[in-house]
Structure 1
Amino acid sequence: MNEPKLEVPAELRDLAEKTIDQAEKAFGMFFDAAGKSMASMPGPGTDMSKQALSFTEQNMKAAFEHARKLVHATDLQQAMQIQSEFLRSQFTTAGEHMRQISGGFMSAATDAARGKFDKR
């Protein structure tokens, strides 16, 4: 049984790609501004905020790449495969991000405890 082709006009695919490019550019400007803002306000939570911003930026880049791949899908089976790969990748990435965040919290708690006991 053949999968029906996705009949999407080339003009519509081009428009979708341009829209993705514009959105990615706008998010890039946002992440640049947010990074500069965090650099100008050092504080105890700055490292965690920078890490969270970095994770968010990575996730957005993956989402834009995913959207680009979907724009070029030629049939439903290919679109579902692209979606499945994206979800699998996102779950793996989310798990890695959680491990890194947990490690950062544990390190910060350990450092705080050491500082508290060292002052005695």
Structure 2
Amino acid sequence: MTGTPKIRIRGLRKAFGSKQVLDGIDLDVEAGTSLVVIGGSGSGKSVLLRCILGLILPDDGTIEIDGVNVLTAPRRQRETLIESIGMLFQNAALFDSLPVWENVAFGLLAKNRARHGAARLSRAQARDRAGEILA
């Protein structure tokens, strides 16, 4: 590996009650590579990904994206870094009641609803962004 990895995880730990799910995970993912996380049910795959995406906080350890510790970075910087990470869900995660562009833009629209008072994307802007992603 050359330079700073896209994602660097050191000593990541997460427990739910007495169940230790992540126990000192170390991981480097080089920029431009894909990673598949495989394991049995309850082995911590989803917990690891949710920690990386900032959906849950680990109990200990560091998560760096592009050399920045996202656990201690300011909120806006953290959001910008995390936007460069994608996740595919094991089960169908598309909403069959929504058009394709809304499924693609779902995260953008949800993030807008969560930002109280922050600049918001209009539905038209979200549709344009979804079109760019699909192109």
Same fold? TM cut 0.5: no
TM-score (norm 1): 0.27
Higher strand share: 2
Q: Please tell me whether Structure 1 or Structure 2 has the larger radius of gyration of its CA atoms.
A: 1
Pick 1 or 2: higher relative contact order, CA cutoff 8 A, min separation 6: 1
- The structure with more helix, counted as a fraction of residues: 1
- State the TM-score, normalizing by the size of structure 2: 0.25
